[in-house]
Structure 1
């Protein structure tokens, strides 16, 4: 790869939080940065850093194909050094409550979107002998209550990244998976408990609120600091090197705990932290003399 060619980066989910901060960090380091999201207006200030914002819906194949064409047209070449799959969709619902619409939307953005981008833009990354990154989550390894759908999407993308890494080795393309802890972003799911929920009791209000605001309540890492570390990881990545990078508040701790903590003890801790034990006691009383439909 010629030293004269300006490196090119594409960051999805760049309208706020991690993607927004990463776009600035890559731009400061001399990359030609394409910042992509469904909403253009929040990305307008990125232009001050030389970033090129454009509209992209990762759940739409035509939009992804248009993104590839746009990058080629803007650069005049077929290189992409960094493909950072960061766009994410939260989903804080119990398994018995989440609708088809909600879990399909979550998988479309968190799993199928990155898969589309890798398939369609992968050849450009291969041309550059570049790197592909994914924003994973500690929710993909820790069974947080009310996180069945979101956790499933992150566990899926973790394994996708692990397998993609093997498939890309022959092309000299690096693959990085960022198992992300608390970061100051606006990904919080603010949707309320469905009125028809089996958990629709007063005791559940605390659990839902605590789960939705878990990251915000635990002194999350600033997005700019997270982005600085992630860009360092991209630039320091090597073939056969690290796959999973633990970044964000509590990420390393939680990843380490899972190595030695028995599952029954982990479940006990989670039940107490989110007061699910209180919820279950109330549910047993409520449904003691009736059958569920």
Structure 2
């Protein structure tokens, strides 16, 4: 079974149940869009298949997997694709001075290079439909999210890449939306967390590091379904001229999730505002006082 004549289509990466991709699949489906949901294992997508969606295996870090998916989608849609949602991703939380570079590279492989590979592979189908690519970035791209330097850097790369892709695809009538997600209920923290190394310079605030590991799921977090409704609703809005998209029609930038509006406003005041907020939010100001006191005690002993 495939899309009905004239029915718009969407391909979504990372549709594992309870995650953002899964919620997006359900919301697009509810709004009459033919959904092609993907995950590394299609066995986790049986509920979506039961609703009439196509489900395909896809690992965005494997070129052959992307190539096979592209071919399968072309068979389903006839070679066009109205929406490509690059949602697949992972997080990595550890101080910048304690990073495991293999983990850091894996994070970029999924969050950045996998996304780039999908855009390149499916550009022909998006262009054929004059469609929309939605790249999942994060408020972390513009926020100094303590102990999340790798994740922040990967999402900043997605943001910069997407802005350039947007102007490159513009002559073809294709669009790119950057989703700046705040705290949304998801599976982003389901992977086992890295432990703070025993010799880490942040051992004195190890408890704060532990709090940070689940911060996105416990601090002003919105429901996955609510985020999906807002994102899909914006994606389906009509087109408006470039200068008016911030206020009307389908936007180039989509901000939603916990703290999204506050972060957007803070960026207009200067980066020092967010720097100061993050510094205090993760108790680094208190840690600094402890370090200064230790330095004073050491000077007294000399």
TM-score using structure 2 length: 0.87
| Alignment: residue pair count | 283
Partner of 1:154: 155
User: Is residue 181–residue 251 contact of structure 1 (8 Å, CA) maintained in 2?
Assistant: yes
Q: Which whole-Å CA distance do the structure 1 matches of 2:99 and 2:289 have between them?
A: 23
5+ residue gaps in structure 1?
none
Q: Which whole-Å CA distance do the structure 1 matches of 2:291 and 2:51 have between them?
A: 53
Relative distance call for 1:280 and 1:83 in structure 2 (3 A) is same
Q: Which whole-Å CA distance do the structure 2 matches of 1:40 and 1:244 have between them?
A: 31
Q: Which whole-Å CA distance do the structure 2 matches of 1:223 and 1:237 have between them?
A: 24
Report SS of the residue matched to 2:41: coil
Relative distance call for 1:262 and 1:69 in structure 2 (3 A) is closer
Partner of 1:211: 212
Partner of 2:137: 136
Per-residue deviation, residues 134-166 of structure 1 (Å, max 9, x unmatched): 111000001011111100011111111111110
Tell me which of 56, 72, 75 is aligned to 1:73. 75
Per-residue deviation, residues 52-92 of structure 1 (Å, max 9, x unmatched): 222111011111111101111233x1011100001111011
Partner of 1:276: 284
User: Is residue 58–residue 114 contact of structure 1 (8 Å, CA) maintained in 2?
Assistant: yes
User: Is residue 184–residue 258 contact of structure 2 (8 Å, CA) maintained in 1?
Assistant: yes
In the TM superposition, 1:1-293 aligns within 5 A as 4-16=5-17, 17-75=19-77, 77-188=78-189, 190-199=192-201, 201=203, 203-236=204-237, 238=239, 240=242, 241=245, 242-261=251-270, 263=272, 265-282=273-290, 285=294
Per-residue deviation, residues 214-247 of structure 1 (Å, max 9, x unmatched): 2222241111111111111111152633311101
5+ residue gaps in structure 2?
246-250
Relative distance call for 1:237 and 1:198 in structure 2 (3 A) is farther
Report SS of the residue matched to 1:260: coil
Relative distance call for 1:204 and 1:55 in structure 2 (3 A) is farther
Indicate the larger mover: 112-121 or 230-239: 230-239
Relative distance call for 1:197 and 1:112 in structure 2 (3 A) is farther
Partner of 2:248: none
Per-residue deviation, residues 88-117 of structure 1 (Å, max 9, x unmatched): 110111112111211111101111011101
TM-score using structure 1 length: 0.90
